[in-house]
Amino acid sequence: MKQSEMISLIILFEIGSAVVIGLGMGAKQDAWLAILIGLACGCILFTIYHFILKEYPGLSLVEILQTVVGQKLGTLLSVAYACYFLYIAARVLRDFCELLLGSALSETPPYIVLIIFALAITYALYLGVEVMGRTAPLFFSFSLSLWFIFLLGVVISKEFHFIELMPVLEHGWKPVLKTAFPLVTTFPFGEMIVFTMFSLYVSKNLSFYKIGLAGMIISGFILVITITINIGINGAYQTSESLFPLLLTVTKIKLGDFINRLDPIVIALLIIGGFFKVTIFQWGAVQVLSRSLAIQSYRKLILPVSLLALTISLVMASNIIEHLDVGLKIVPLYLHIPFQIVIPVLLLTIIKIRRKLRG
């Protein structure tokens, strides 16, 4: 996979659904600062993943787990990672559904929307990671065009007010740091753990570590710009209270007298970013399972995994409030921290200790 392809994949993945929800709004008008701190912590986590992969070149996370902690425990942890990737894929799939139902398809049954997306994602998985990589720069270029229209609308509409971002650190560092960790660190930056399954597909003459950091930093600044615009137009209170603040923002933006609804831009951005995010997480789940269970062809697992993700997305919450509440409060603590931080740190610690003991 080429450098431009992998960077595009990472940016689309990182932005995913994070660009639409009020990321970092626990820090109110200092959300931009919480995102920057979360980005820095996420880069540290990615560095840990890099060190683990560097110790065992040519191996994926599955083989490394089996090598370091033993076949049985390694396989068990690998299957746990597959379940984790699958569950997060289902959550993002539900994000898709809730935004579309709340903005454009209010009369459509949720299962219809989910099935259509699930079919498209399943087809992408059958095409393979190489095709996914080749199409990523095209979709990223299209997303950038949409961003340009959005930013043009912000400038022309003159609805943005810097005063909404003041005062900086009104309540001190505590709410900023509390928001940055664990929430922003783990979502979306710590989710780069799934890319440990992609490192083998990067061209050997390229640095997967540098590519990963570049993608994270670019996506981090896109998220900072987005949340800053949301606060500057809507105010910190309205932004924090809105389920989808970016959607609220575009309703206030007008391009002269001929364009006064930019909602399709937000919907298109979520569809593109969310599609890649779900596809990458499901591909990660399929790859982990096939390698853990020694299944020759990973394609045999694509349909079962897709059906599971679809089913989980349908039953995981009874409404959007419950869905977001679980995703922003429970998932970071009980899923993201163990799989993104605890296990990798322990794994790296064991690797370093063993290397010292060998002399």
Distance of CA 18 to the CA centre of its chain: 7
> Consecutive 10-residue runs of the chain (359 residues): their mean pLDDT?
92 88 91 97 97 91 93 95 97 87 79 91 93 94 88 86 93 94 94 92 86 96 94 94 87 71 79 93 96 89 96 90 89 96 96 85
Query: What digits encode the pLDDT tens for the residues 180-222?
Result: 999 999 999 999 999 999 888 887 788 999 999 999 999 999 9
Assess contact for 145 and 302: CB atoms under 8 A: no
Token pair for residue 163?
């005063």
Q: What is the pLDDT of residue 224?
A: 96
Rounded-to-integer distance, Cα 94 and Cα 189, Å: 20
Query: What digits encode the pLDDT tens for the residues 8-26?
Result: 999 999 998 888 788 899 9
Q: What is the pLDDT of residue 269?
A: 83
End-to-end Cα distance, the chain = 36
Q: What is the pLDDT of residue 359?
A: 62
Rounded-to-integer distance, Cα 221 and Cα 208, Å: 20
The domain defined by 3-352 carries CATH number 1.20.1740.10: yes
